[in-house]
Structure 1
């Protein structure tokens, strides 16, 4: 087995786990880092699906008590059915728009230059939203209503543009529509489960022919790295947002995006453009 390939898998697994649930765009980071280390071939498409699945399962594990309680209460507990209803409503915009435009977006926009631009624009939007007067009216996910979930769902759909960040769009959308910081972050995590599972199943179906048994060790390394890192990142992020704004993430996005664009403009890095 190629040790360099295993190290690339480890690096990308850590990148996915660290960035999937932070407002910095995991897809954007995977595109940029994958391009930088030369792991952007056809096999890498399936690999990125696998490590994304690991990050989803990490959230499921972290919130297993809540999810188990909801699953057990679907037949008798109105609160459990209401919670699932919120996720369904929030999931619908991304599901419909993703079905219509997924292939076009992947073929046209999945490149480092688009990602860098979206990172900068998203960072500026976060700075703008953080400068607004902040008056949260919803302090818990259970206090949300279906119009709140739908609005956040439409915000999430913006993340089909790579570099936007699914978690960033849902969290900042949540803040804009009146959710507290912790509520916005937690609903973003929960909404990620159906959204990312659906995207994963669809991507596996589309790329089934690329699956090979020889790639199993590489996929396993990336999967474990992503799972462990994502679980750590989710716990740390919840602690962070309970006492801090998202301004640090905004500046990180802007600086990172500017570095990528500057490296392309100066020719320091020969980024792919499609």
Structure 2
């Protein structure tokens, strides 16, 4: 992976991480379209640059994350993240095995888009408009919905936002709680991938990063780019979602998914 490829992957991560269109799918497609050779460093890089995207949420909502007088906020996130941490650890190998199946991921992208076309009609009368009104029961329910995103192509953002709306949250409240929940979820996945997991090349993530100066540079630049692009994406997404709902993202997923299905099917 060269510098330009790393920058492109990081831009894709930052732009898609918090949108209901699956950052994992988009990074996988991008790498394939760029002709990048699949490697353990590439897989680890795609996970590790989530750290930059995480920081964008902390910066955008810094008053919320550093309001230590509201301990319920932290407890709700802790409860909501438990399902993903447990199932993610148990299913890690199975999830990684699907990451290389671009046809399967493209299919999930299409089916998820079809669901998004009807979400606004299904949940018309929200009762919860603020994070403070979310109960612990609701938080853990959203946490279980988030687990649907363990199938690459589903989108963690889409799963948790739809999960929030099933519990009576407004589109904006569901999206923001999804952002908040992403911080501990993605931080746990990033730490696991860098410091805990032993990849198939018998190396830890941090060992691959520190292997040479080029890897260190790619890691730093990737996170900076992901941070900047995620800032832009989140602000844009909230505005579009609040005004227009999910249909735009649904059609986007369907069109992109079909195009990629044709591309990868004919290329195989």
TM-score, scaled to structure 1: 0.89
Q: 161, 168, 177: which one pairs with 2:158?
A: 168
Q: 12, 36, 49: which one pairs with 1:15?
A: 12
Paired residues in the alignment total: 257
Secondary structure at the counterpart of residue 91 of structure 2: helix
Partner of 1:114: 104
Partner of 2:54: 56
RMSD of aligned C-alpha atoms? 1.5
Q: 3, 18, 28: which one pairs with 1:6?
A: 3
Secondary structure at the counterpart of residue 19 of structure 2: coil
Partner of 1:241: 241
> Partners of 1:55 and 1:15 in 2: how far apart?
11
Q: Tell me by how many angstroms 1:210 deviates.
A: 2.4
Partner of 1:31: 28
Paired residues for 1:1-274 under 5 Å:
5-39=2-36, 40-69=38-67, 72-73=68-69, 80-204=70-194, 205-206=196-197, 207-208=204-205, 209-211=207-209, 212-214=211-213, 215-267=215-267, 270=268
Secondary structure at the counterpart of residue 21 of structure 1: coil
Deviations 1:80-106 (A, max 9, x none): 121112111211111111111112221
Deviations 1:37-84 (A, max 9, x none): 133322212221231111011111111122111xx32xxxxxx12111
Cα contact 2:123–2:166 (8 A) shared by 1: no
> Partners of 2:119 and 2:90 in 1: how far apart?
29
Return structure 1 stretches of 4+ with deviation > 3 angstroms: none
Q: Tell me by how many angstroms 1:265 deviates.
A: 2.6
Partner of 2:200: none
> Partners of 1:210 and 1:133 in 2: how far apart?
45
Q: Tell me by how many angstroms 1:132 deviates.
A: 2.2
Secondary structure at the counterpart of residue 242 of structure 1: helix
